[in-house]
Structures are given as C-alpha cells and as structure tokens.
Structure 1
Amino acid sequence: MATSMIMKQFKTEEKIASEPWPDDAVLYQPYEVEQILLAENASCLAVKAYLKMCNIPYSVRSSANAEFMSPGGRMTKLPFIKVGAFIVAEFEPIVNFVEQKECAIGQWLNEDEKFDLRSYVSLVENIFTNAELYISFLDNEVYKTVTEPRNGCVFPWPLNTIQNFKKRRHVLKQLKVYQWSDMNLEDVLEKVVKCCETLTSKLEESGGAFFYGDEPTELDAIVFGHLFTILTTTLPNNHLAQSIQGFKKLLDFCQNIDSKFFQLS
C-alpha cells in the first residue's frame, strides 16, 4: 500500500513538472474592496508578489465564496490557484508547486541557505498571520467596525450573523492552538516588533535589496505581502501598523518591491 502511494505521488509530481505553466492560470480571492480580511489580503498579496517575481502569468478572479471554493474545504486559508488541471491553496504549497515547474526564484541558494530561508518564512507566517487574526477578531473595535461587516457583507441576514459566528469561532480556535488567544495587545505588538528586528538584521546582513542579496526569494514575497497589507489597510486603530513604521529599512523594502513588481505591471 505504501509503495503504491509513493508511486502515485511520484507520477503526479512527474506530471506537474512535465507540463508547462499555462497562460490562463487563475488566482482566486475574496472581493478586495468590500470583503477581504486583513490576514487573507496579506496571504493573497504574498502569492501575487511571488508569481510576479517568478515572471509567470496569472489572472485574478474575485469571488464572494472564494474561501468555500478552496480544495481544503470550509474556511481554508486563501488564496488558491487553478493551473491547468491542478488546484493548489495557500502560500507554501503554491511555492512548492511552482518549484516543480522549474520556474521558481531562489533556486541558486545552497542547501544551508534554503533551510535558513524556510525558517524565516515559518517565523513570518506565524507571527504576522496570528497578529493579523488577533487584531481582526479579538480587538472588539476592529471586529465590530471592520471584520464583522466585511466578512458578512456577501450574505443576507440572518446568514451573515451565522457566518460571522462560525468564522470567529474558527479563528479563536486557531489562535488558541498557537497560544495567542490569551495574550494582551502589548504581547502581540512585542512579538511583531521582535520579528521586525529580526527581519531588519537579515536585510542588513544580506547587503542587497532583498533578504538574500540582489535577487528575490519567497521570503521577500511573504514579508512584503504581510507588511504592505498592514501598512496600507485602514483600521479604527493603527497599533499594528505603528509597530512596523519605526523600521525604515523594512518600509524602504516594501516600497522597492511595490515599485519594481506592481506599479510597472
């Protein structure tokens, strides 16, 4: 049985690698203006940045029920992409999928650098995603004025109330698993600041415009996705953005990626 499963996985990976990247790849996400939430927006932007850095074509399709269309099922992290016959959800699986196509960035890194990179990606994903969820669902002012109306906007009453209840319960369970649910705001902001200090040191160490020199990697994409989203999202309080604004090197980093990969596209 195990041998059969390994062979099946090998054939799938072989098929993925053998097919060229199509021109009609589609990235699915919620509506940006009226619906998408902070953590979802950050994840979607990180994937968009990565695909642009890889210089591979894709289009964006906004859908009211995007999170329920994902292959992972109800309330799966976004975005997901449809590439030919394949559907892949979330940042890291999408990166892994692109790498199998041999059109990924960062292939010049040695094994130690790749291990180092994966550690940084995990740190960024953990800290920023949980901080975004905390602010969105545990800060009552943000939840009542931003999260609740945006998450429920595509559903009629009373379905919108039910969906908001389910979403908040799901997020609170996730935060509890990572031991963030009992934190206060100061604890959350302290974790964000320490992460920013770590990222600033890494940028200074690289000596280039990106975290590993003069060429971008997936780390640059995911850091940009989170930082740029936090900095440009309007909330009733801006505690999270303020905790980042003191790091000039990270602000310059975001401006560089925005101008290089987005403003000229």
Structure 2
Amino acid sequence: MSGGKCLRIWSGDWDLPSVDYNCLAAMAYCKFTETPVTFQGTNNPFWSKTGGLPVLKHEGGSEYNLTDIINFLRKQGRNAEFGLSKKQNADILAYTSLIEEKLLPALLYCQWVDTKNLDDFTRPWYFKAMPFPFRYYLPASLEKSMDDKVRSMCGCGTLTNADIEKKVYREARECLNQLSNKLGTFDFFYGKNPTYLDAVIFGYLAVLYKTPLPNNPLKHHIQSCDNLVRFINRILHRFFQLTPEETTEQERKESERQQEKQDISDFPHKKRNMIISALVALSAMVGYALLSGLVQIEITETNGEGINNDYEDDFEPDEDED
C-alpha cells in the first residue's frame, strides 16, 4: 500500500454510506477526525481474521475491529476526544457499554432473528451483495453467529423467540429514551463537536432508522424522538454528502427494488395471464391441425352386432341397392 489508508466496509444502501453499524461508526470517526482514508465497499469479510468488517489497511498492517481502528487513529494523532475531561471520557465508555448491552441485541434481533425480516430482507440483501461464491455460504454463517450472539447477550438460552423479542425491544426503547434525554437540544452528545460516542450512536441509529425492514418497531420509536432523527440526518448531511456517481448508484438500486416489488405484486395476474395465453395458443394449434387435416378424428359406433362404422373410409353403396 503506497502510504494511504483503506477502510474495507460493507457497501452502502438506503442513503447510507454503509449498511453495517460498525462500518458506519468507523467511517464517521474518520470523517470527524479528517483522517485521509479511502472507503472500499468489498462486501466480503472472508479474508478478515475476525470474519467481519470493517478492516483498516495501512502501511504497518491491518486493524480488524472498531476498537483497534479507533485506537490506531488516536495514536496517529486523529483524536476526536481531544479536550474532553476525564469524567466526559468515562461517560463515553459508560454510554458505549450501555448501547452494546441494550441496543445491540435489538438491532441484531431485528435483522437476523426476526423470521420475516430475515426471509424477506436480510438474507436476500446479503446474498445479492456478496461476491461469488461466498454468497452461497457466508450469509448462513452470519445468520448462525448473529442468532447465537443475541441469545448469549440476553441470557436467553431457554426463552422462545417471542420472549426474546419482548425483552430486547423493551430494553432498546429504554436505551433510546436515555440517549434522547442525553442529547437534548445539542447538535452532538458533547456539544458542537462530534466524538467517538457520536460515531457509535450514529452507526446504531442510522441502521435502525434507515434499513427498510418489514418489521421494525424501533424505527417508529426513533421517529418519536425528534432530536435523534435530526442527529442522524445532521451527520449524514455534514459528513457524508453523496457524490454524483453514488447518487446514481443509489437511484439504480432503488429502481431495482421498486421493480422487484412490482413483479411480486403482479405475479398472480401474470400467472393467470400466462395460463390463459397458453390455453388460447393450444386451442389455436388444435383448431388449425383439425382444419388442415393434420389430425383426423375417428368416430366409432358400436351396435348390438359388434359392427364398426368407420366414417374416415369412403362410403361404398351396396351393389344390389336400387
């Protein structure tokens, strides 16, 4: 690598620069600290030793998780927490732990455990996004690891999915309320300048708010917290303005999604029309075959003496008949 840094991430969608909360946090911190770095949407965690993204590649090697990436950037002098007090830094650690404990299980449940979301959205998205041949087995591996992680974090080994859902969503709503109260009327959680905490919270909230999941009760709760919605949009507007090429790509993806929805909606009618068309075509071919003599119909009549009258043969009159 020729002196630069490259952050390998899950690519963006739904007006987000990445669809992954950790990737968004790493990207946001790079933006907050004006770190010169290239974002590369690989959609392939296979070569990561942790099996996940983001991965920061640099001259000295690689950083394979969010914590290591942030620590590396701070050692490089890219520190968004410069000037904060010890108490404020301690608060950042406390809130980060709160989010991982209360909000992360709900986010993972929403994407990877909820059956409808998994079948109708998450599985198809990752299958389509991943390169061949990884798309055929990595999504299933991710699904298993995320499901295990949710149950482990919640201590839910014996609970049903319905019980887990109630637990994670209740705790997530409480966490969102705390974050909304903490933010108040400020632009960022510690005033005018964003910090690591803002990067982490942005990653979680943006994914929960922007991902078009069929079942997403937390999106509605975020919508009820106006300051959290403004917080998401503020960071997107200030730090992640889309280039013309990115805008075109987002529009293309949205057009494809709308077409897929239309195809699904039209499917019963299309199937009916196809059946009718096939029957009409079959009738036309049979009619043509009959009229042209390609197919002849033999009508057989059986009387009491077992005599067959074949109407295909020429009728020969009786010679004795007058």
Distance of 1:135 and 1:224 partners within structure 2? 17
Count the aligned residue pairs. 234
Q: Which has the higher contact order (CA 8 A, sep 6+)?
A: 1
Unaligned runs of 5+ in 1: 1-21
1:90-101 to 2 correspondence within 5 Å? 90-101=65-76
Q: Work out whether residues 151 and 164 of structure 1, in 8 Å CA contact, stay in contact via their aligned partners in 2.
A: yes
Q: Work out whether residues 53 and 216 of structure 1, in 8 Å CA contact, stay in contact via their aligned partners in 2.
A: yes
Going from structure 1 to structure 2, the CA distance change for 1:24 and 1:245 (only over 3 Å counts) comes to same
| Local SS of the residue matching 2:81 | coil
Q: Work out whether residues 110 and 216 of structure 2, in 8 Å CA contact, stay in contact via their aligned partners in 1.
A: no
The match for 1:6 is none
Q: Work out whether residues 23 and 57 of structure 1, in 8 Å CA contact, stay in contact via their aligned partners in 2.
A: no
The match for 2:32 is 53
Q: Which of 217, 222, 234 does residue 244 from structure 1 map onto? A: 222
Going from structure 1 to structure 2, the CA distance change for 1:23 and 1:163 (only over 3 Å counts) comes to closer
Going from structure 1 to structure 2, the CA distance change for 1:33 and 1:217 (only over 3 Å counts) comes to closer
TM-score (norm 1): 0.78
Going from structure 1 to structure 2, the CA distance change for 1:263 and 1:180 (only over 3 Å counts) comes to farther
Going from structure 1 to structure 2, the CA distance change for 1:256 and 1:32 (only over 3 Å counts) comes to closer
Using the TM superposition, give the Cα deviation of residue 145 of structure 1 relative to its aligned residue in structure 2, in angstroms.
Answer: 1.1
Distance of 2:135 and 2:29 partners within structure 1? 33
1:180-191 to 2 correspondence within 5 Å? 181=156, 182=159, 183-191=163-171
Going from structure 1 to structure 2, the CA distance change for 1:68 and 1:249 (only over 3 Å counts) comes to same
1:1-265 to 2 correspondence within 5 Å? 24-33=4-13, 41-65=20-44, 67-72=45-50, 75-76=51-52, 78-153=53-128, 154=130, 160=135, 162-179=137-154, 181=156, 182=159, 183-204=163-184, 208-263=186-241
Distance of 2:22 and 2:58 partners within structure 1? 18
Distance of 2:4 and 2:131 partners within structure 1? 30
The match for 1:8 is none
Using the TM superposition, give the Cα deviation of residue 23 of structure 1 relative to its aligned residue in structure 2, in angstroms.
Answer: 6.2
- Summarize deviations over 1:122-174 as a string: whole Å, max 9, x none: 222333332121112211101111122223333668x7554343222212221
Distance of 1:84 and 1:125 partners within structure 2? 31
Q: Work out whether residues 192 and 243 of structure 1, in 8 Å CA contact, stay in contact via their aligned partners in 2.
A: no
Distance of 2:152 and 2:195 partners within structure 1? 29
Distance of 1:229 and 1:167 partners within structure 2? 17
Give the aligned CA root-mean-square deviation in angstroms.
Answer: 2.6
Distance of 1:248 and 1:30 partners within structure 2? 28
Larger radius of gyration: 2
Percent identity reads: 26
| Local SS of the residue matching 2:8 | strand
Of stretches 126-135 and 53-62 in structure 1, the one that deviates more from structure 2 is 126-135
Using the TM superposition, give the Cα deviation of residue 116 of structure 1 relative to its aligned residue in structure 2, in angstroms.
Answer: 1.1
Q: Work out whether residues 27 and 61 of structure 1, in 8 Å CA contact, stay in contact via their aligned partners in 2.
A: yes
- Summarize deviations over 1:182-220 as a string: whole Å, max 9, x none: 44323222111111111122112xx63211122111001
TM-score (norm 2): 0.66
